[in-house]
Amino acid sequence: MIALRLARLALLLLTVAAAAFALMKLSPVDPVDAYLGPAMARVGPEQKALIAASWGLDQPAFAQFSHWLGRLLSGDPGWSTAYGAPVRSVLAERLLPSLLLTLPAWLLSGVLGFALGIVAGIREGSALDRAIRVYAYVTASAPTFWVALLALTVFSVNLGWTPLCCSGPIGVLPQEVAWAERLHHLILPLSVLSLLGIAQIALHTRAKVAELMKTDHVLFALAQGATPADVACRVIARNAALPALTIFFASIGEILGGALLAEQVFAYPGLGRATVEAAMKGDVPLLLAITLLAALVVSTGNMLADILYRIVDPRMGGAGPALRKAAQR
């Protein structure tokens, strides 16, 4: 079973890498011109050809992909032309800021979404339920970059409560930034990502809780004098956890995608911003490495969801993957 999962994961990563490589080759961006920038007007065709040959760009596309794949399997993801450094170094530098942003946002959106879904479900039809649904519908349809720009304008420009950009004060080396300053710069992008990630979990949890509130055993408990809060804590929370876990782990991809846009707006030096830089400058090795890392994280999250299904409800057995796919659709 484990060997089959690993084989499927390897095939998925290979497919993702091939698709990303093909899209980069179809892109109109010339890596050499993007690397040279304004200096490309002073560089002749012969010099550009030499640069392309040193990067292996003069070879057929299949040979380039095979060469990159062979280096990756040997533990070397290649050289980043956008940053002029090994891809491994760029990933190591950008990974921690991205984790500090995406991991807390993912956890907060899951916890808050589950709590709001339970509150709305047990108070179905009330003013509180309507308010939570309106919030969820609005945030689910609002573009991440627009919300980020609005938050930046209000809280950083107009009110001055949060910094305008970056993960630390401008002009200070990253290793010299105190943790309090890091948190101050992290508050606004983290809040935007967390609040936008709540909607899907809250709506699905609400639907399940509203359904459970109409079951016979819950109605009997309420008739015996139990309060909705007691029923929610003792009966409903566990039964509603399964669909919530489904959406929670499926939302990893949405959080990563939202982080990419948020990092651009807030000039936050994470993997999301590095992805945009790599795409704009035709940096194939860096873009492929980040794409594979993101695919690995999402796939691992789905596998963890399958394991947690059996912990939350042992009766699920082998039905976990099918239910997860159905919930994602």
CATH of the domain at 206: 1.10.3720.10
Q: Which of 34, 90, 8 is nearest to 283 (CA)?
A: 34
Query: Are both 74 and 100 inside the same structural domain?
Result: no
Q: Which amino acid is at 83?
A: Y
Q: Which amino acid is at 322?
A: A
The whole-number pLDDT of residue 328 equals: 47
Phi-psi domain of 233 (left: phi exceeds 0; alpha: psi -120 through 50; beta: other): alpha
Query: Are both 65 and 117 inside the same structural domain?
Result: no
The whole-number pLDDT of residue 313 equals: 59
Query: Are both 150 and 79 inside the same structural domain?
Result: no
In contact, 58 and 67? CB cutoff 8 Å: no
Query: Are both 81 and 220 inside the same structural domain?
Result: no
The whole-number pLDDT of residue 314 equals: 58
Beta-bridge mates of residue 79: 86
Alpha-carbon distance 208 to 117, whole Å? 9
Query: Are both 134 and 241 inside the same structural domain?
Result: yes
Query: Are both 157 and 252 inside the same structural domain?
Result: yes
Query: Are both 115 and 196 inside the same structural domain?
Result: yes
Residue 55 sits at the vertex; the CA angle it makes with 49 and 58, to the nearest 5 degrees, is 50
45: containing domain = 2-85
3-state secondary structure the chain: CHHHHHHHHHHHHHHHHHHHHHHHHHCCCCHHHHHHHHHHHHCCHHHHHHHHHHCCCCCCHHHHHHHHHHHHHCCCCCEECCCCEEHHHHHHHHHHHHHHHHHHHHHHHHHHHHHHHHHHHHCCCCHHHHHHHHHHHHHHHCCHHHHHHHHHHHHHHHCCCCCCCCCCCCCCCHHHCCHHHHHHHHHHHHHHHHHHHHHHHHHHHHHHHHHHCCCHHHHHHHHCCCCHHHHHHHHHHHHHHHHHHHHHHHCHHHHHHHHHHHHHHCCCCCHHHHHHHHHHCCCHHHHHHHHHHHHHHHHHHHHHHHHHHHHHCHHHHHHHHHHHHHHHC
> Given 66, 85, 104, which residue is the final one in a domain?
85
Query: Are both 52 and 108 inside the same structural domain?
Result: no
Query: Are both 215 and 292 inside the same structural domain?
Result: yes
Alpha-carbon distance 130 to 149, whole Å? 27
Query: Are both 230 and 192 inside the same structural domain?
Result: yes
The whole-number pLDDT of residue 309 equals: 67
Query: Are both 156 and 273 inside the same structural domain?
Result: yes
Please give the chain's pLDDT, 329 residues, in tens: 677 878 888 898 889 999 989 988 888 888 888 777 777 767 778 888 888 888 888 888 888 899 888 888 888 888 888 888 899 999 988 888 888 888 999 999 989 999 999 888 888 888 998 999 999 999 888 888 888 899 999 998 888 888 888 777 777 777 777 788 888 888 899 999 888 888 888 888 888 888 888 888 777 777 777 777 777 777 777 777 777 887 888 788 888 888 888 888 888 888 888 888 888 888 888 999 999 998 888 888 777 777 776 666 555 554 444 444 544 44
The whole-number pLDDT of residue 327 equals: 43
Q: Which amino acid is at 54?
A: S
* Structural domain count of the chain: 2
Residue 108 sits at the vertex; the CA angle it makes with 103 and 110, to the nearest 5 degrees, is 100
Q: What is the reported pTM? A: 0.78
What residues contact 281, with CB distance under 8 A and at least 6 apart? Answer: 29, 31, 34, 35, 81, 82
Alpha-carbon distance 255 to 260, whole Å? 9
Query: Are both 154 and 277 inside the same structural domain?
Result: yes
